[in-house]
Structure 1
Amino acid sequence: MVRRFLVSLFLLAALPGVAQAGPWPREPGGVFTSLSAERDRNGNLYSGLYAEYGLSPRNTVGVEIGRASVGETTGLIWLQRALDAGEGPNRFSASLGLGAVERDGRVHPLGQIGAGWGRGVQTRLGDGWITVEGRVKIAGGMDLAGLARGLTPTEDSYLTPETVAKAEVTFGLRPVDGLMVISQLRLERRPHEALSQKLVGSVVQDLGGPAKIELGLILPVAGPGARAVKIGTWLEF
């Protein structure tokens, strides 16, 4: 029964549409926070806190904190700047972030650069959006010794390597007021590993006021990974 519900949820979220995030800057003084958790079928758990704050019409600052059950904690502060003047249908952005990774009692510096494109769209099913975002992360002095510690390839994928390139293609749709349906393709390239490809589908429902709840399913297509479920809460004000 649960499996059937999750598959139905993913198929619903796979509908093409439009979304709101990514390259769009946060309004000055605006705040967005998200607390989420992903658990795969092997019992591995990743939990994260994400927050954005609008500094100015073009600049947004963000904070990301994550904890993996395999024994790693990451923290990142980033600044994103809109590269367009806010006119026309397309939005472009670039970002730069600095942080740290803690593993086995050692702390390693972490850097990130990113870029994104987004566009709002209108369909017969409702308004929505599409975004394409890419990021490259570099962790100084890090050796990816997960397999030497007895971790499986799937568990190893939860650890931060010295370099990793990620890309996300996201489609979002608002079929009715108070409901968002989101589908996403996640791509990840690590040194000496095959390209990881995952499909993510989720539904975001208004709870009243600034609060929302998100439920989703993550399906690996190629490379390391295991099927996982996702749950999160959003606050926006």
Structure 2
Amino acid sequence: MMRPVALAILVLLAGVQMAQAGPWLREQGKGFLAGSGNVTQAKDTSGSIYLEYGLRDNITIGADLFYGIDRTLQQSGSGILFARFPLSAADATHKWAWHLGIGARSQNTVIAPAVEAGLSWGRGIKVGERYGWAVVDSSINVPGSTLETRIKLDGTIGLGFNDHLKGMMQVFLTHQEGALFSKVAPSLLIQPGKGKYTIQIGAEIPTNGDGDTELKIGLWRDF
């Protein structure tokens, strides 16, 4: 009985990790949309949609949605509407921002309201002649009902190889139900044409806790 529940939790944790968070706010009237799907060899599947929109230059609003179902038909879901605010100057080298969100989480037939708060740091980096970025995101998600508080700390390093290809490595740490889950997630980001779209091809590999390696395919778009 515990393995199906653990798998469902892991599917939930995996699906929400790649929300493109960070301390950079969107310009007013500009937005970003990302969709992705994950699957394991045992056919655990999940999907997520992430949206950001610059309401004002100092307020970014968005939505972070997820649904997953594992090989035993255990289901998990999450939906958060959030607002992000800057804590640093627009031209600062080290960017800081915080966010506050409300929404709901689900586990099979249990649906509970949830609140979330988080802090993000990021900066641009240079390795040789290549430019990239580094980000650390933290959040706490507190649901009602019998679902457990979730604490996350995620790190991302990305580096551009050329105008159309980037590499990204992420580390995901999640504490829930008294246990620590961790994953590493390498990805390639491919920008064909004029770069309005980005194709993500990657994997999420558990390093602590149960679960299987997942193949991840995603599509990002700026608008």
Shorter-chain TM-score range:
0.7 to 0.9
Say if 2:21 and 2:137, in contact at 8 Å, map to a contact too.
no
Distance 1:21 1:73 in 2: 19
> Aligned-pair distance for 1:211?
1.5
Between 1 and 2, higher relative CO (CA 8 Å, sep ≥ 6) is seen in 1
Moved more, 167-176 or 119-128: 119-128
Percent identity over the alignment?
Answer: 29
Counterpart residue type for residue 170 of structure 2: Q
Give the C-alpha shift of residue 190 in structure 1. Answer: 1.1
Q: Which residue in 1 is equivalent to 2:121?
A: 117
Q: Name the CA distance, whole Å, in 1 between partners of 2:80 and 2:41.
A: 27
1:158-211 superposed Cα distances (whole Å, 9 cap, x missing partner): xxx420111111000111002121001110111222x21110000111133421
* Separation in 1, partners of 2:63, 2:193: 25
Match of 1:128 among 110, 128, 132: 132
Match of 1:47 in 2: 47
Q: Equivalent residue of 2:186, what SS?
A: strand
Identify the residue that residue 4 of structure 2 maps to in structure 1.
Answer: none
Q: Give the AA of the match of 1:196.
A: F
1-structure distance, mates of 2:107, 2:186: 30
1:166 corresponds, among 152, 156, 159, to: 152
CA contact (8 A) 1:181 1:203 kept: yes
| Paired residues, number | 199
Cα deviation 1:135-156 (Å, max 9, x = unaligned): 11111002xxxxxxxxxxxxxx
Cα deviation for residue 73 of structure 1 reads 2.5
Q: Encode CA deviations 1:211-232: one digit per residue, 9 max, x unaligned.
A: 1210001111112221111001
Note the 1:186-201 alignment, pairs <5 A. 186-193=172-179, 195-201=180-186
| Partner Cα distance (1:114, 1:187) in 2 | 14
Rg bigger for which structure? Answer: 1
1:222 to 190, 203, 208: 208
Give the TM-score normalised by structure 2.
Answer: 0.84
Partner of 1:95 in structure 2? 99
Superposed CA RMSD: 1.6
TM-score, reference length from structure 1: 0.79
Name structure 1 gaps, 5 residues minimum.
Answer: 1-19, 143-160
Q: Quote the Cα distance in structure 2 between the aligned partners of 1:26 and 1:211.
A: 17
Equivalent residue letter for 2:210: P
Q: Which residue of 2 aligns with 1:178?
A: 164
Q: Which runs of 5+ in 2 are unaligned?
A: 1-19
